[in-house]
């Protein structure tokens, strides 16, 4: 398969281009009996959808999702769930000028090298518009994980350009357009973004995701380690250039005595590992951070080449997010949910009925 | 499958525990006609094997690999390649004392929660001993990639604890036990490691891998992006807590004007992206960096619990690497080789005969 | 994944229930550059669609397919192809009476045992209505196989109840509602079916499929043998209870001297093997035959049980095919096309550029 | 992957050629806690092994299996099980004469067309010698299925050439070299085989397998139907040309009133379906029959071609089974066990905790 399916037991397969007629997805492997409606998906779709603030792309898409199959009398049946979102606000003519152009740091050149040609309208399949379907599928996974296990997944913006954002007040995250838990920084963020737009530039960001209420024992040894699959899922999000679990790159300069998470019968005494050891969840909170590059679609001219092999100057028009990291928050949550969903099913398949020698110790580190 | 197979078209499946009778692997999907012998694999195995320096574990393993199938008259036949390495220097009695103990920051606790019990001898399946088979398989992939496409893969230690190591002189890498390209720092490394052993502590490290001679067009859109699969492969290496492609986490504070790799008909003008855009290789050098945590097996006592649910103090004996990052260099090379091997075959399947509109531009950034 | 995806490199994932809002599919892995439009798919869909003759179900469905993605300027782009068919003639109220009933020889009882409940309207996901999407996807595969390799795939009804039908005149197949190549038997078929309907009974059938212009070397050894995957694909069609390759069950009483296909430089001298040896195509015509059971939806009362665990008498109403074998002809063609499509890509991945020691010998046996 | 792995959750990957150094396998996904030793596997290996009667090949192989990993203190750990059987009685020089020859109805020609060359010694990878590993893996699956669910799997020879063999007395199967349950026919079989050898010919056979104690609800809708995967698994056995579930090809001439399996609260009233409806097990006995072609390795000369593209006459020497169907009995059992094992895990993943509306009705039809 050419890469449009995620998961082994709970699979998401998506289709659709930025300026095509519709986006769609099939979710296969959802257990039967889950109460579900389109409204459950819409909540997260609305968090991701464009045009909700002056700091994101001005493309207007309702991103209204329809569930076409897999439900009966309000419950999942165990058969595939078909999803559809119709595109409504394509402006393909904006892109006619890039048909022959390779925009720097876009997928354009690689696609042409791979396929010989490409649907250039809005980036075609390489556009982050495709992530709407991930968010929809992630919402199903989130609901299952919460209802079956009490696992909750919360993402937030942890850095925007030079501005570091603490995980101070999770309850504030839904109340601002930055998915920011550090309310004291909201004005600084707003000012920074306003200035950025004025400069016709874009900026990178870091997004963190936390899963709490984790179950120990999820994940597989060796290649399908839980953290390996999280890294895969996160790096598959557009613009992501780095993934960290727990302390991430800080471990490079840590010593063993400092890094190791000691344990007691009252629980773990620290969480440097980020909730995974040997590829398997420990029950500690899962801590994941990703780095997102500044969007390459900026109106400041840049050097490039065209399909005719000539040097050219490029100015990327269209409607774009000056910081793609912001809207990546619900996408990162969705991807983590998909990984956990797959692994809770995989765990169940092989280890149903296994009795661990002692009950799980608490996974949250006391503040 | 429970996680012991890597790849879609060029698959590696491994078995074996640290203190079991043998390690083994099956490589399925190697194209026919590749000249191959055990010696080709042994070269990399010898780079990874323990006991080659005072700074690594003193376990002595010849790690001599046998090829049991898939070759005929010195060439691969296209049928599966069976590999076997017999363990010779197990000292399982060293581990009897940890049978009931959960060593902090080891896989012990998670394994017991998952499976109900575990093979505790030397960490069983969770030991990095398993990576010998990855190195063996990676050597096959490397050979193919080089002979068919001219792609070369080179890893090096880029940081050890606080000591940053530049990619100054790649030719120096095979000449020192640290896989270090920064020869001026060798004495400092040696002194640091000696002091670390004296402190009975361990330390983290960063390893970088570069693939040169890259072919544009490898990788798939969406979930099987080349960088996503690299992240997966790298994070599946024991002790890895972070993965970066190109500039990695540095992108968080970069602006679009700074980050984007401009192009000209003479080639790319920079390589912030690390050779992948939209999940597809650009032909630029692939740049990957990983963070490895300090090994948790240290002789400084630590708090933990046992299978009986009691608080205990743990001292981890046995023979261990004070910096697992060092020996991870050939492992990281192998994993990158496995990813590229899989994707060169996947690319060929779907895009054989595709004519890109212009020949690839040079991928190396001039110094 | 729970079973709704077929293929490894050219994958078809489907969704939809008999009486749901729509049927849909995603085809992933179609090579770029194939000229394609909905009309290419509609042709085969029209051959399968219900209500075209008095001998099939009277449900009226236009089965009009939309291609929602994966095309640009009339060519496939290499990205996923999304398909949609809206259901228009559901009469779910016909099925209210079976909500609590297990119809004999239907999937009802097994679904309830598996999932705890089921979408009973028209059989839900177990209905053969789902095969519309297979036919649509098969049409794409057929087009590619023909344009790239000259492979053609032709199915026909080879037996209906007691009436054996020879492969006399393939050109006659599209000219009659029975997909019959044995024109002398058309009146007999018509009379038999008329009498069958009068008896309120149903009957089994055999369908054969022939692929000509075959390429030698497709298929994989051991588990993914070409014939094994054909058997899988064919047995996945509703109502199929047997699959034969070449002489099939006749081989049981054959001797080696009789069965073996001798060869000469002019070509194969017979085709008992049906075009596959050791799981790999020989270039001979592929010969596949399947047995389809009589539909279980008949109006003659039968004994069964209900969800309350009581003995009951069942009469299956609704609109059904008295011989499901007839409409299975385009479905069987589609499934063979999907298998071959997947294997031509798999072959290319691993064996691109392989030079066989001699050019293929002719695969068709002279009459 | 190029076809050497079977299964999704309980996977078997094999390597090894007829005249290579060893056969090996990795079983991934075996649940932890199963009591297991090599002796459990040896039992079935001894039933399959060559040289046990004058009616099978005279090659002498002990087929002694070693378990190299995945066990700890006599129980499976949930990590991969590595298996090894060393070849001891290769006589590769017997095969030097076929290096350039395409034996009729062997894999020789297809392999050369696919791979460009082949390991011709004893058929290399295409030899049925590889099935030893399937039998070993199947023994693990059988043990698990029996211990967890009470499912038993029994194969028998149901036809040899013209001699039909009834399922009269299953207890007689282990007592004769033909795996025959029809003891009155043993002398006839012996005489037939003796005459066959005298004629230097070979003959086809049918093998049937029955699984009793079945659990309803195993299998998946659409492509991964239980019967579809059984067909796949069975057709992947060397020499198989047909597969039937339940009444198989007899359904072609059956009417609906005759075929349908009526039900009552006391159980199913017949078993024409062979235990699967809509791709999902009903709890009825699973009934599978396969057709095996006469071995093509006979000493009667035949026409063929060589690698130089010349017409030649071939006489196949070496040591061969005149009726490969006989030794296929334990192989067919093993493949059915592998399918069921995979599906019991798959079922558990998605449907754990599902409560069917009524307890299963009896699956065995009273005699």
Q: Is A60 annotated as a binding residue?
A: no
Q: Do A352 and D348 touch (CB under 8 A)?
A: yes
Q: Is A300 annotated as a binding residue?
A: no
Cα gap B85→B139, rounded to integer Å: 15
- Summarize the confidence of residues A125-130 as an average pLDDT: 92
Whether C130 and C16 have beta carbons less than 8 Å apart is answered as: yes
Whether B83 and B71 have beta carbons less than 8 Å apart is answered as: no
Cα gap C322→C320, rounded to integer Å: 6
Q: Which residues contact C310 (CB under 8 A, 6 or more apart)?
A: D265
Interchain CB contact of D305 with A (< 8 Å) = no
DSSP state of B210: E
- Summarize the confidence of residues A181-208 as an average pLDDT: 95
Which run of H or of E encompasses D229? helix D226-235
- Beta-ladder partners of C5: C13
Residue A186 has phi, psi (to 5 degrees) of -65, -40
Give the model confidence (pLDDT) of D272-307 as tens digits.
999 999 999 999 999 999 999 999 888 889 999 999
Q: What is the mean pLDDT of each run of 10 residues along chain B (367 residues)?
A: 92 95 97 97 90 74 93 97 90 74 94 94 90 97 98 98 97 95 97 93 97 97 97 98 98 96 96 97 98 90 94 80 92 98 97 93 78
Cα gap C117→C111, rounded to integer Å: 7
Q: Which residues contact C60 (CB under 8 A, 6 or more apart)?
A: C50, C51, C88, C89
- Partner B, chain A 15-54, Cβ-Cβ below 8 Å: none
Which run of H or of E encompasses C8? none
C310 pLDDT higher than 80: yes
- How far the first Cα of chain A sits from its last, in Å, is 46
Question: pLDDT confidence of D1, banded at 50, 70, 90?
Answer: low
pLDDT (0 to 100) of residue A351: 94
Question: pLDDT confidence of A66, banded at 50, 70, 90?
Answer: very high
Residue B239 has phi, psi (to 5 degrees) of 80, -5
Cα gap D50→D65, rounded to integer Å: 15
How does strand B280-281 pair with strand B276-277?
antiparallel
What is the residue extent of each domain of chain B?
5-351
CA distance D220 to chain B (A): 17
Dig out the tokens for B160 from the structure: 């050890």
Give the model confidence (pLDDT) of B155-208 as tens digits.
999 999 999 999 999 999 999 999 999 999 999 999 999 999 999 999 999 999
Cα gap C182→C168, rounded to integer Å: 5
DSSP state of B360: P
Whether D35 and D71 have beta carbons less than 8 Å apart is answered as: no
Dig out the tokens for A33 from the structure: 């009996």
Residues of D in contact with C303 (CB under 8 A): 262-264, 269
A252 pLDDT higher than 90: yes
Dig out the tokens for A39 from the structure: 């409204």
Question: pLDDT confidence of A22, banded at 50, 70, 90?
Answer: very high
D93 pLDDT higher than 80: no
Give the model confidence (pLDDT) of D317-365 as tens digits.
766 788 999 999 999 999 999 999 999 999 999 999 899 999 999 988 7
CA atoms in the 13 A half-sphere facing the CB of C186: 15
Which run of H or of E encompasses C91? none
Place of tokens 């749901």: C20
| Residue B359, number of CB atoms within 10 A of its CB | 8
Whether C335 and C307 have beta carbons less than 8 Å apart is answered as: no
Cα gap D174→C183, rounded to integer Å: 51
Question: pLDDT confidence of C366, banded at 50, 70, 90?
Answer: low
Dig out the tokens for B284 from the structure: 């630029």
Q: Is D293 annotated as a binding residue?
A: yes
Residues of C in contact with A124 (CB under 8 A): 72, 77, 79
User: What number of helices (H) and strands (E) belong to chain D?
Assistant: 7, 18
Could you tell me which chain A residue has the CA closest to the CA of C126? Answer: A79
How does strand B71-72 pair with strand B11-15?
unpaired
Radius of gyration of chain C (CA): 21
D367 pLDDT higher than 60: no
If DSSP codes are grouped into helix, strand and coil, which group holds residue B194? Answer: helix
Give the CA angle between residues D73, D76, D79 to the nearest 5°.
Answer: 120
Cβ-based burial of C300 (10 A; exposed 0-12, middle 13-18, buried ≥19): middle
Q: Is A294 annotated as a binding residue?
A: yes
Radius of gyration of chain A (CA): 21
Could you tell me which chain B residue has the CA closest to the CA of A101? Answer: B263
Q: Do D349 and A346 touch (CB under 8 A)?
A: yes
Q: Which residues contact A22 (CB under 8 A, 6 or more apart)?
A: A16, A84, A85, A86, A87, C68, C69, C82
Give the model confidence (pLDDT) of B211-250 as tens digits.
999 999 999 999 999 999 999 999 999 999 999 999 999 9
Interchain CB contact of D70 with B (< 8 Å) = yes
C364 pLDDT higher than 90: no
Interchain CB contact of D191 with C (< 8 Å) = no
Whether A135 and A331 have beta carbons less than 8 Å apart is answered as: yes
> Which is more confidently placed, C289 or A99?
C289
Residues of A in contact with B280 (CB under 8 A): 107, 110-111, 113-114
pLDDT (0 to 100) of residue C306: 95
pLDDT (0 to 100) of residue A180: 97
Cα gap B314→B102, rounded to integer Å: 8
Q: Do C15 and A115 touch (CB under 8 A)?
A: no
Residues of C in contact with B351 (CB under 8 A): 31-32, 78
Whether C20 and A83 have beta carbons less than 8 Å apart is answered as: no
Cα gap D304→D315, rounded to integer Å: 10
Cα gap D284→C308, rounded to integer Å: 20
C139 pLDDT higher than 70: yes
Give the model confidence (pLDDT) of D223-276 as tens digits.
999 999 999 999 999 999 999 999 999 999 999 999 999 999 999 999 999 999
D201: alpha, beta or left? (left if phi > 0; alpha if psi -120 to 50): beta
Q: Which residues contact C22 (CB under 8 A, 6 or more apart)?
A: A68, A69, A82, C16, C84, C85, C86, C87
Q: Helix/strand/coil (H, E, C) string of chain A? A: CCCCEECCCCEEEEECCCCCCEEEEEEECCCCCCECCHHHHHHHHHHHCCCCCCCCCCCCCCCCEEECCCEECCEECCCCEEEEEECCCCCHHHHHHHCCECCCCCCHHHHHHHHCCCCCHHHHHHCHHHHHHHHHHHHHHHHHHHHHHCCEEEEEEEEECCEECCCCCHHHHHHCCCCCCCHHHHHHHHHHHHHHHHCCCCECEEEEEEEECCCCCCCCCHHHCHHHHHHHHHHCCCCEEEEEECCHHHHHHCEHHHHCCCEECCEECCCCCCCEECCEECCCCEEEEEEECCCCCCCCCEEEEECCCCEEEECCCCCCCCCHHHHHHHHHHHHHHHHHHHHHHHHHHHHCCCCCCCCCCCCCCCC
Complex ipTM > 0.85:
yes
CB-closest option in A31, A349, A354 to D9: A349
A80 pLDDT higher than 80: yes
Whether A126 and A114 have beta carbons less than 8 Å apart is answered as: no
Which run of H or of E encompasses D124? none
Q: Which chains touch A (3 or more CB pairs under 8 A)?
A: B, C, D
pTM score, whole prediction = 0.97
pLDDT (0 to 100) of residue C97: 76
pLDDT (0 to 100) of residue A97: 76
Whether A303 and B261 have beta carbons less than 8 Å apart is answered as: no
pLDDT (0 to 100) of residue B297: 82
Write out the CATH class of domain D5-351: alpha beta
């Amino acid at each position: 398969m050419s890469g449009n399916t995620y998961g082994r037991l709970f699979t998401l397969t998506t289709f659709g281009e930025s300026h095509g007629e519709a986006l769609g997805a099939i979710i296969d492997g959802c257990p039967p009996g889950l109460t579900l409606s389109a409204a459950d998906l819409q909540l997260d779709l609305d968090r991701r959808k464009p045009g909700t603030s002056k700091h994101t792309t001005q493309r207007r898409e309702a991103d209204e999702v329809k569930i076409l199959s897999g439900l009966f009398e309000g419950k999942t049946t165990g058969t595939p769930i078909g999803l559809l979102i119709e595109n409504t606000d394509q402006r393909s003519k904006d892109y006619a000028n890039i048909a022959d152009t390779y925009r720097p740091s876009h997928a354009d050149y690689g696609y042409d090298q791979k396929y010989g040609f490409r649907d250039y309208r809005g980036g075609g399949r390489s556009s982050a518009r495709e992530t709407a379907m991930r968010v929809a599928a992630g919402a199903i996974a989130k609901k299952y994980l919460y209802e079956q296990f009490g696992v909750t997944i919360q993402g937030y913006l942890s850095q925007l350009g030079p501005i570091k954002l603490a995980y101070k007040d999770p309850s504030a995250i839904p109340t601002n357009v930055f998915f920011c838990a550090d309310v004291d920084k909201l004005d600084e963020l707003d000012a920074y973004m306003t200035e950025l737009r004025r400069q016709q530039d874009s900026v990178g960001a870091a997004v963190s995701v936390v899963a709490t209420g984790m179950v120990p024992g999820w994940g597989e040894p060796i290649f399908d380690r839980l953290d390996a699959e999280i890294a895969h899922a996160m790096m598959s999000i557009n613009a992501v250039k780095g993934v960290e679990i727990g302390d991430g790159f800080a471990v490079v300069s840590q010593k063993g005595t400092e890094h190791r998470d000691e344990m007691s019968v009252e629980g773990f005494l620290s969480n440097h590992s980020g909730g995974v050891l040997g590829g398997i969840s420990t029950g500690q909170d899962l801590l994941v951070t990703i780095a997102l590059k500044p969007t390459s679609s900026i109106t400041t001219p840049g050097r490039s080449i065209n399909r005719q092999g000539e040097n050219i100057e490029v100015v990327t028009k269209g409607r774009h997010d000056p910081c793609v990291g912001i809207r990546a928050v619900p996408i990162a949550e969705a991807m983590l949910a998909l990984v956990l969903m797959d692994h809770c099913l995989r765990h169940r398949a092989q280890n149903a009925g296994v009795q661990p020698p002692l009950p799980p110790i608490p996974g949250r580190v006391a503040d």
